[in-house]
Structure 1
């Protein structure tokens, strides 16, 4: 199937390239225009319905007609001179707020397929500071706060509000909701652009250094950009078709994953294509591209399917953000796999030997170099290198002892929104800009009396962590009630989550009127429930994903022992990466713990993506062991041929993920995934796995036995003679070094090792 697909794409190479170009251009536009229509930034919307905060959100929507708004922002109004607000100031604030609530904010003209976010904001009066130093207003806008169109509408409103209040010698500050989102986006704009530029520069620089060719550096980037556009459109289309809402972080994660694995797969093909052209200089480029992809295609397919399988297991998660992320990335990787078997070989067939122009050195095989020395060192002293790798991984993995999960927002920028929130918290409860609510619903359909809520209100006011409690509000038929409260600590901290999930919920449940049940919601309550859901999901997803990856490895390698070796290797890589991240962030930077999403993200990305490199080296080791050479000789040859591709691809993929570290919100994920990919490619795939293969020899493929046809045997013997002749001068140059390798080879032939 793979060979038929690649043969068709190389025969019709121009048609294949044109088709992907048209699809990429069209779907890039569609995906970009409609992506924000299928994303949701409200974490509470992804919680299973059974959780306490999720029930409260449903009561708010069903009985009160309100839904928590991610765009609701708090506006602080104060005098320019810092003095107390006078009665006249209060009247001006009330009047100006009313005017702002009547004026329509007109946004920029929308692009085709994009929404017009022009709207009239909802403005409501809020609390006044005890010392009369400021007054608060609450403003709400409709739309996705991550949508650039809505962000521009907010900026128009912000600038208009500043001008309106300035006429009365009043100043304003904005915090919470879309205000915080926009400030963070503006703060990260420069670092984001620099990070993207450095990643692209790294890819181009590495490819130029490795291939000495401009085409080899630029063509993969253009191809991956086209494929990414197709994947983006496919994900948006699937979300629209099935009515699925994606998490706001999904588009950026898809971009990073596709850039990394896309360049990886193209590099695997280019290295093998170059080797094919060197070994058969008279072969037509189209035939060489088809044969190359036919050989590497199975390894690439298996590598891609491990990623798909790993992320598909997220469909079993109860937390919606995980459950929708899995299919989105799986679809994207499947698109990349299809392109790897069609577009990439077609491009190789189109460019042919011109892909490596103007370099000429590649036409002659170099038997020396770093890769050859590494292969010889690992194969001649496998136990030493295996133990050294295990010690390194074990030392890093030990850092995971005592790991804690943190749900706090780490490394926030010092923005205007943050400074405004701090000013508010100095005079009012810290949670005033992010209130929580207790919803009470009748369990038997009887009406709730306002007087019956008095005991609950008084008890909540005395509960630990509660700074202020509002008056109860009943719905129209009096079957539900709402009691708003402000926490005395910031809502996005672990302390707030502990208070809400403990004293606040206990007090609400204990003092709820007879015949009713109380539910608490708000930022802290939602994330407390998310913590519980994630903990359960981790216990389910890890083993299922590991089992699926093991099955794929078994089908590829047709061995029982080899998949076990690879799974143990990637498992050690995962623990080492998690341990190193814990040492740095939890202990080194003295944070409460590592991000709660880090273990799952690491497991999926490091294990699934890291397995790519193990599959490539193992597949080449098996190919070399099919020849009539010693097992250690086969390992040395496999490392010599694949080390450049794996090392380059690993650095590129690590660089892609490391770009996430430029943002404080994704700093941990960027560092950890980058380190994990480096360990997977340079330590596991080039040292540990080859060393174990050299120790186990052909027993690695147990219970499978090697079968060789006479033709294959003759070809392999000729290859070995050719190899020995090419290396004769090298052996002479270093007789002691290479003599030990020859002695090991002779011993293995005699069955002594």
Structure 2
């Protein structure tokens, strides 16, 4: 099947290229146009209904008109001269708020607005909330509906903000906005220039690495173009599938898909390019099309197995209870399959068309390159495998020691840029009111039999909530329009996005609710703190299931690929050590150096999927080459040295490119994103330079051909089959117990 695909691509390259160009452009347009219609911005919608905060969200939707894509905002209004608000000022503020609540806000459209963009024009919900005790400001509650990640929705917020600011300025008042969409937009605006610079810098680094390695403009730029086309098609497939099935994606899924596809796409193209160049050097009489067909068929097997390990790893998320994971896994798995199809068709077709021109103007095809660093490392690993294994284990063990004191932070990702207008508004509010006033914890009460709820019967519950340590204020119970539910807003003194608030809600607050629940009612606690407290429980349970299932599936794929029982065990143990070392190092940096409460709750899963799956990619590449070299005559250790010499440059380049891509996330203002960027870049570097180039080859050198037990590689003495690297006719010892021999 694999050779059939690569063979067709190299026999009819222009047809394949044309087909991918048409489909890639069409699916990219589809994906971009409908992306935000296919995503679900509310993380609470992904929690199973059995969790308390999910039940609270259902009550809010059914009885209080809450919408999953609602964006609640807090608007601060104060006198422009800094004086205290008078009763007349309050009446003026409420009157202006009523005007805003009746006025439609049109979504701005410019020449840069993409076609088929959803129109978010709407009438906002605006209502008075409270006045600060010192009368320094009055707060208004605002609600805009739409996906907060949609650029059109962000433009709508900017239009509303400017309109409201103009209205209140005319009345001698100033305004400020905070929470949710306001935080996101202000942070995005503040980081726009830096994000652009970082993006350009990372792109330049990737191109420069390719230029340095291949000395060719085409080989430097073509991988990026190809990955963009295939990645656009993959995103379109995922978005289209989501729209057809009605299964909405998590808001972070498109970004993760993009990062994954850039990483593995460039990796796979690099694997092909390095082997293609090697083939052209060893067989100068061979045409570019014939070389492309031979290389694509051989490397295609390793690339397919590598891609299937990623598919297996992400597919296991389908068994998770947390819907964010359950949707993310299949989406990325489908994207990787599309990238695999492109790797087996479009990439070989381009090699067949370009041939030796791919490496113009480099003259490296006309001469055998010097041994280089890769050759020296290969000889050293093969000559001193015990030393290399012990050194690798010592390094990985030292980093993994950080796991002993690791804590997990289940917050939504940390604070944004403290210098933004939204952050300054939040700080101003916090100086006069409890920290949770802009993001209250809400207690919902419904009658068990579906009857009416009498708000006067909730006085005892309200008093019990107010008595809980850490609660700054409790609002009076508010009935729903149908009278079948009531809500009590609880304002915590702790930051609602912090660990203290989650501990308070999941412990004392819910205990108070259980103890003072009125007879004949059901009571549920909702809000940000409650939501993430429940997410922590769901994620903890899911990780205990996902990790072993994913490890089992990856092991099965390795077993089928390598046709060995021992080799898959070696690879899985090595990537397991790499995962532990990366997570331990991340905990040390996050908790000890940066003094954060713990590592982001998504980090273990992200590292497992990216580092283990992508690390296994590199291990598969080196293992496949070691097996190929061991099929040749000569000592096993010499085969390991040759495999490292020819494969290490591809692994090192791919690792650097991927680490640079992930490392760009480390400059993001969001601490959670910074953590994921740093940790993933570190994990990729460990996988590439420690596991795949040193540890796995050293273990292969120690075990010799026994590593492929029970089906050892078939050794052949057919001269010329392997070109100049085959050492045909070698008559040295081939026994796995051979004495040290030169391995140059």
Bucket of the pairwise TM-score, normalised by the shorter protein: over 0.9
Aligned to 2:4: 4
CA distance, structure 1, for counterparts of residue 729 and residue 618 of structure 2: 25
CA distance, structure 2, for counterparts of residue 747 and residue 460 of structure 1: 78
Instruction: Tell me by how many angstroms 1:108 deviates.
Output: 2.3
CA distance, structure 2, for counterparts of residue 406 and residue 117 of structure 1: 35
Aligned to 2:104: 104
Cα deviation 1:701-727 (Å, max 9, x = unaligned): 0111333467x4784698654698xxx
- After superposition, where does 1:398-409 map in structure 2 within 5 Å? 398-408=401-411, 409=413
Match of 2:146 among 124, 135, 143: 143
Aligned to 2:713: 706
1:320 equivalent to 2:323? Answer yes
Give the conservation status (yes or no) of the 8 Å contact 2:223–2:269.
Answer: yes
1:95 equivalent to 2:105? Answer no
1:681 equivalent to 2:688? Answer yes
CA gap of 1:430–1:652, structure 2 versus 1, over 3 A, is: same
Q: Single out whichever of 624-633 and 455-464 deviates more from structure 2.
A: 455-464
Match of 1:550 among 546, 549, 555: 555
Aligned to 2:213: 210
Instruction: Tell me by how many angstroms 1:487 deviates.
Output: 1.3
Aligned to 2:79: 79
CA distance, structure 2, for counterparts of residue 283 and residue 747 of structure 1: 31
CA distance, structure 2, for counterparts of residue 609 and residue 207 of structure 1: 20
Q: TM-score, normalised by structure 2?
A: 0.96
Aligned to 2:305: 302
Match of 1:616 among 607, 617, 621: 621
CA distance, structure 2, for counterparts of residue 722 and residue 140 of structure 1: 75
Q: Single out whichever of 359-368 and 139-148 deviates more from structure 2.
A: 359-368
Give the conservation status (yes or no) of the 8 Å contact 1:33–1:114.
Answer: yes
1:374 equivalent to 2:381? Answer no
Helix, strand or coil: the match of 1:116?
Answer: coil
Give the conservation status (yes or no) of the 8 Å contact 2:108–2:159.
Answer: no
Instruction: Tell me by how many angstroms 1:480 deviates.
Output: 2.6
Where structure 2 has 5 or more consecutive residues not aligned to the other structure, the ranges are none
Instruction: Tell me by how many angstroms 1:20 deviates.
Output: 0.8
Instruction: Tell me by how many angstroms 1:51 deviates.
Output: 0.1
Aligned to 2:15: 15
Cα deviation 1:414-433 (Å, max 9, x = unaligned): 21111111111111111111
Aligned to 1:728: none
CA distance, structure 2, for counterparts of residue 716 and residue 133 of structure 1: 82
1:578 equivalent to 2:612? Answer no
Instruction: Tell me by how many angstroms 1:407 deviates.
Output: 2.4
Cα deviation 1:434-467 (Å, max 9, x = unaligned): 1221111222344433332111111111112211
Cα deviation 1:668-718 (Å, max 9, x = unaligned): 0000000000000110000000000000000100111333467x4784698
CA gap of 1:496–1:723, structure 2 versus 1, over 3 A, is: farther
Give the conservation status (yes or no) of the 8 Å contact 2:47–2:54.
Answer: yes
Give the conservation status (yes or no) of the 8 Å contact 2:10–2:289.
Answer: yes
Instruction: Tell me by how many angstroms 1:105 deviates.
Output: 1.2
Give the conservation status (yes or no) of the 8 Å contact 1:70–1:177.
Answer: no
Instruction: Tell me by how many angstroms 1:664 deviates.
Output: 2.8
Aligned to 1:340: 343
1:532 equivalent to 2:537? Answer yes
Instruction: Tell me by how many angstroms 1:249 deviates.
Output: 1.2
Match of 2:651 among 641, 646, 654: 646
1:696 equivalent to 2:699? Answer no
CA gap of 1:714–1:131, structure 2 versus 1, over 3 A, is: closer
Helix, strand or coil: the match of 1:399?
Answer: helix
- After superposition, where does 1:356-367 map in structure 2 within 5 Å? 356-367=359-370
Q: Single out whichever of 54-63 and 204-213 deviates more from structure 2.
A: 54-63
Instruction: Tell me by how many angstroms 1:361 deviates.
Output: 2.2
Q: Single out whichever of 26-35 and 109-118 deviates more from structure 2.
A: 109-118
CA distance, structure 2, for counterparts of residue 270 and residue 440 of structure 1: 63
Aligned to 1:483: 488
Give the conservation status (yes or no) of the 8 Å contact 1:285–1:348.
Answer: yes
Where structure 1 has 5 or more consecutive residues not aligned to the other structure, the ranges are 725-741
Aligned to 1:732: none
CA distance, structure 1, for counterparts of residue 114 and residue 343 of structure 2: 32
1:237 equivalent to 2:240? Answer yes
- After superposition, where does 1:426-465 map in structure 2 within 5 Å? 426-465=431-470
Helix, strand or coil: the match of 1:130?
Answer: coil
Helix, strand or coil: the match of 1:432?
Answer: helix
Helix, strand or coil: the match of 1:401?
Answer: helix
Q: Single out whichever of 688-697 and 68-77 deviates more from structure 2.
A: 68-77
Q: Single out whichever of 56-65 and 486-495 deviates more from structure 2.
A: 56-65
Helix, strand or coil: the match of 1:376?
Answer: helix
CA distance, structure 2, for counterparts of residue 565 and residue 750 of structure 1: 20
Helix, strand or coil: the match of 2:133?
Answer: coil
CA distance, structure 1, for counterparts of residue 493 and residue 666 of structure 2: 32
Q: TM-score, normalised by structure 1?
A: 0.95
Instruction: Tell me by how many angstroms 1:88 deviates.
Output: 2.6
1:667 equivalent to 2:674? Answer yes
- After superposition, where does 1:705-744 map in structure 2 within 5 Å? 705-708=712-715, 712=718, 715=721, 720-721=726-727
Give the conservation status (yes or no) of the 8 Å contact 1:628–1:717.
Answer: no
CA distance, structure 1, for counterparts of residue 70 and residue 464 of structure 2: 29
CA distance, structure 2, for counterparts of residue 717 and residue 397 of structure 1: 43
CA distance, structure 2, for counterparts of residue 512 and residue 614 of structure 1: 57
Helix, strand or coil: the match of 1:440?
Answer: strand
Match of 1:284 among 282, 287, 295: 287
Instruction: Tell me by how many angstroms 1:328 deviates.
Output: 1.1
Match of 1:161 among 143, 160, 164: 164
1:589 equivalent to 2:575? Answer no
Instruction: Tell me by how many angstroms 1:752 deviates.
Output: 5.1
1:55 equivalent to 2:62? Answer no
Helix, strand or coil: the match of 1:664?
Answer: coil
Instruction: Tell me by how many angstroms 1:477 deviates.
Output: 5.3
CA distance, structure 2, for counterparts of residue 718 and residue 148 of structure 1: 56
Cα deviation 1:112-142 (Å, max 9, x = unaligned): 3221111111110110011111001111111
Match of 2:519 among 497, 514, 521: 514
CA distance, structure 1, for counterparts of residue 15 and residue 315 of structure 2: 32
Match of 1:127 among 127, 130, 141: 130
Instruction: Tell me by how many angstroms 1:91 deviates.
Output: 2.3
Instruction: Tell me by how many angstroms 1:399 deviates.
Output: 1.2
CA distance, structure 1, for counterparts of residue 141 and residue 311 of structure 2: 44
CA gap of 1:449–1:147, structure 2 versus 1, over 3 A, is: same
Aligned to 2:40: 40
Instruction: Tell me by how many angstroms 1:747 deviates.
Output: 9.2
CA gap of 1:82–1:719, structure 2 versus 1, over 3 A, is: closer
CA distance, structure 2, for counterparts of residue 70 and residue 319 of structure 1: 21
Q: Single out whichever of 88-97 and 396-405 deviates more from structure 2.
A: 88-97
Cα deviation 1:569-593 (Å, max 9, x = unaligned): 0000000100110110111111101
Match of 1:172 among 171, 175, 189: 175
Q: Single out whichever of 62-71 and 427-436 deviates more from structure 2.
A: 62-71
Instruction: Tell me by how many angstroms 1:44 deviates.
Output: 0.9
Helix, strand or coil: the match of 1:50?
Answer: coil
Instruction: Tell me by how many angstroms 1:293 deviates.
Output: 0.5
After superposition, the CA RMSD in angstroms is 1.8
Aligned pairs, number:
733
Helix, strand or coil: the match of 2:438?
Answer: coil
Cα deviation 1:290-312 (Å, max 9, x = unaligned): 11000100000000000000000
Give the conservation status (yes or no) of the 8 Å contact 2:636–2:734.
Answer: no
CA distance, structure 2, for counterparts of residue 680 and residue 484 of structure 1: 49
Cα deviation 1:389-412 (Å, max 9, x = unaligned): 110000001111110001233352
Give the conservation status (yes or no) of the 8 Å contact 2:39–2:249.
Answer: yes
CA distance, structure 1, for counterparts of residue 555 and residue 567 of structure 2: 10
